[in-house]
Chain A
Amino acid sequence: MAEQQPMTEAAYYILLALLHPGHGYGMMQRIRELSGGRLVMGPGTLYGVLSRMSREGLIVLTGEVDRRKTYAITDQGREALRREYDRLRHMVEDGKIMEEAET
């Protein structure tokens, strides 16, 4: 299996938000909450990332109510998210050396 490229911040948070299926506006609110207000995403960016991840099979369209489309993460998406999480965690652990050097 090819090595996974680092995810963009937007893709990472969208996958996190879609651990619970959601629609556009709900996803944006959830991402803002998850990032403590640090990451504000517009619908243009959101759609761009959603369509790319949908093509890659990381998310799937699960339903539509009143033109409002609901997306959910796929098993492949969960795996990708887990790998990215592990990669980031390792990076943070590796970075602890910086704190030791400062003390």
Chain B
Amino acid sequence: MKRRYRRHFDDYAIGENEKLYSDMAARGWFLEKRGSYFSRFGSGKPADMRYRIEVSAPRFLEETWLPEEQVAVYEDCGWEYVTSCGMIHVFSSPAGSDAPEFYADPAQQAATLKVLRRNYIWAWVPVVLMVLLNFLMAAAMSGGVGETLSKWGAEFRIGWVAATALWLFFGALLVWTFYLFLHGAWRMGRLYRRMKKGIPLDHSPRGRMLPHRIVSGVLLGFVAVFGLLTLWQWVSKDTRDLPEVADGPYVLFSDLGIEGERSQLFYDDRTSQITVERSLLATHYDVFEVVGEGGSNWMYQDVYRLSSLVDREMFVRSLMENSTFARSPSSFREVTVEGLERAWVAGDLECMAVKGDLAAYVTVLKAGQETDETLKLALHALAECWANEGSQVR
């Protein structure tokens, strides 16, 4: 048996869905199953059919299906149960049959839409609660609402630069979903009010909701484009062993004058590696090097070659905010290093450097030298590297 899938209208468009199923039956495609987004049709001899949708109204935590007794009453009246999805239940009957409409009084039918209407209005509550809970937990652990907000802000800004397409993808997805809920809530409310006034449901509406479909289609298009860009970024990500000589705007222990065999940390099997990832706003070099017995010397670097669209000052501040050991940007002390526009150190382990379109956050430890000496060596090495690198100084 041939099968076909078609995107159906959302739950609020009751009349439109009923008409869609009738039109498909007239073309020889009979509804078999309704899913969340698509309906499945099986082929058959074209027939004039009436399709009607009943909306169940479950109480809190109750199942959404229709009670067996209700289905039995409808079938007794000439309706055949076809399929259900969530609170939507579809029945059919040949067009000429004397199966009566489910409700003679539109106001009674309106009462069945209350829960569906409420769902559209309150669908965002669980998401908001989850985010709020997550935020409160983070605030409780980090010691304050303000601190958590600035940490989240920093993570957001770094994510925006390092994974722009992914951020745009989630943003477009959020806008699209929000638009669908907003439109659904508006349509559902309008339908509910009309039926409460006694205006019957139109089982065969003429409009095809074109403006809504265009807006929804455009938003979905953005989701798809940004999804593909995210995929491209992910596929083009290059992770490899760290070369013996730096081949990008980053430094190695040997550039700091610290020699030693490449090894690995005693608590981790990660070896010296570099990952280069290109987003729409930056090229990110994620570099990790470990040398010496038992991984006694290690260095992490996040080096970004930023697009001119990025607010560099803001980005650097975000990197400081997001640093591993320093509690806040105020922990970073500015130092002067020849060859760098600006440079900072924090404690004995972290430093930052900026020049032209390059920004670097470095965490480095050399065993037996737990002072900011190693940091200064790293900053000087970066200055030398970036001088040779030929970064585009703004």
Interface size on B, residues (CB 8 A): 21
Q: Which residues of chain B are within 8 angstroms of A68 by Cβ–Cβ distance?
A: 72, 76
Counting chain B CB atoms within 10 Å of each CB, which of A46, A47, A51 scores highest? A47
Given contacts A50-B73, A67-B75, contact A44 B102 (CB under 8 A): yes
Given contacts A51-B67, A61-B69, A67-B72, contact A45 B103 (CB under 8 A): yes
Q: Assess the B78–A42 pair: CB atoms within 8 A.
A: no
Contact with B along A67-99 (1 / 0, CB 8 A): 111000000000000000000000000000000
> Whole-angstrom distance between the alpha carbons of A45 and B108 in the complex?
7
Q: Assess the A43–B104 pair: CB atoms within 8 A.
A: no
> Whole-angstrom distance between the alpha carbons of A67 and B73 in the complex?
9
Tell me the smallest distance from the CB of A78 to a CB of chain B, in Å. 22
Q: Assess the A46–B72 pair: CB atoms within 8 A.
A: no
Tell me the smallest distance from the CB of A39 to a CB of chain B, in Å. 8
Q: Which residues of chain A are within 8 angstroms of B112 by Cβ–Cβ distance?
A: 44
Q: A8-52: which have CB < 8 Å to B? A: 23-25, 28, 40-48, 50-51
Given contacts A43-B79, A44-B108, contact A51 B100 (CB under 8 A): no
Q: B236-267: which have CB < 8 Å to A? A: none
Q: What number of residue pairs across chains A and B have CB atoms under 8 A from each other?
A: 61
Partner pick for B77 among A24, A48, A50, A67, CB 8 A cutoff = A24
Q: B84-115: which have CB < 8 Å to A? A: 100-105, 108-109, 112
Q: Assess the A44–B76 pair: CB atoms within 8 A.
A: no
Tell me the smallest distance from the CB of B110 to a CB of chain A, in Å. 11
> Whole-angstrom distance between the alpha carbons of A25 and B74 in the complex?
8
> Whole-angstrom distance between the alpha carbons of A50 and B159 in the complex?
58
Given contacts A61-B69, A69-B69, contact A43 B108 (CB under 8 A): no
Q: Assess the A25–B69 pair: CB atoms within 8 A.
A: no
Q: Assess the A45–B67 pair: CB atoms within 8 A.
A: no
**Nearest-CB residue, chain A, relative to B99:** A43
Q: Assess the A42–B101 pair: CB atoms within 8 A.
A: yes
Counting chain A CB atoms within 10 Å of each CB, which of B79, B100, B108 scores highest? B100
Q: Assess the B103–A23 pair: CB atoms within 8 A.
A: no
In the complex, B302 has a CB within 8 A of chain A:
no
Interface size on A, residues (CB 8 A): 20
Q: Assess the A24–B76 pair: CB atoms within 8 A.
A: yes
Tell me the smallest distance from the CB of A33 to a CB of chain B, in Å. 15
**Nearest-CB residue, chain A, relative to B75:** A67
Tell me the smallest distance from the CB of A79 to a CB of chain B, in Å. 24
Q: Assess the B78–A25 pair: CB atoms within 8 A.
A: yes
Q: Assess the B108–A51 pair: CB atoms within 8 A.
A: no
Contact with A along B54-90 (1 / 0, CB 8 A): 1000000000000101101111111100000000000
Q: Assess the A24–B103 pair: CB atoms within 8 A.
A: no
Given contacts A28-B100, A61-B69, A69-B69, contact A43 B76 (CB under 8 A): yes
Partner pick for B108 among A28, A48, A50, A67, CB 8 A cutoff = A48
Q: Which residues of chain A are within 8 angstroms of B105 by Cβ–Cβ distance?
A: 45
Counting chain A CB atoms within 10 Å of each CB, which of B67, B75, B77 scores highest? B77
Q: Which residues of chain A are within 8 angstroms of B100 by Cβ–Cβ distance?
A: 28, 40-43
Q: Assess the B69–A43 pair: CB atoms within 8 A.
A: no
> Whole-angstrom distance between the alpha carbons of A28 and B98 in the complex?
12
**Nearest-CB residue, chain A, relative to B108:** A45
Given contacts A47-B69, A47-B70, A61-B69, contact A25 B104 (CB under 8 A): no
> Whole-angstrom distance between the alpha carbons of A51 and B70 in the complex?
9
Tell me the smallest distance from the CB of B80 to a CB of chain A, in Å. 12
**Nearest-CB residue, chain B, relative to A64:** B72
Q: Which residues of chain A are within 8 angstroms of B79 by Cβ–Cβ distance?
A: 43
Given contacts A25-B78, A51-B67, contact A46 B73 (CB under 8 A): yes
Counting chain A CB atoms within 10 Å of each CB, which of B69, B74, B103 scores highest? B69
Q: Assess the A25–B76 pair: CB atoms within 8 A.
A: yes
Beyond the given A24-B77, A45-B105, A47-B70, please list 11 additional residue pairs across the A-B interface where CB-CB is below 8 A.
A24-B72, A24-B76, A25-B77, A25-B78, A28-B77, A41-B100, A43-B100, A44-B103, A50-B73, A68-B76, A69-B69
Instruction: Supply 15 A–B pairs (Cβ within 8 Å), ascending by A.
Output: A25-B77, A40-B104, A41-B100, A42-B104, A43-B76, A43-B77, A43-B100, A43-B102, A44-B54, A44-B103, A44-B112, A45-B104, A47-B69, A67-B72, A68-B72
Seen from chain B, the residues whose Cβ lies within 8 Å of a Cβ on chain A are 54, 67, 69-70, 72-79, 100-105, 108-109, 112
4 interchain residue pairs of minimum CB distance: A44-B102, A24-B76, A24-B73, A43-B77
Seen from chain A, the residues whose Cβ lies within 8 Å of a Cβ on chain B are 23-25, 28, 40-48, 50-51, 61, 64, 67-69
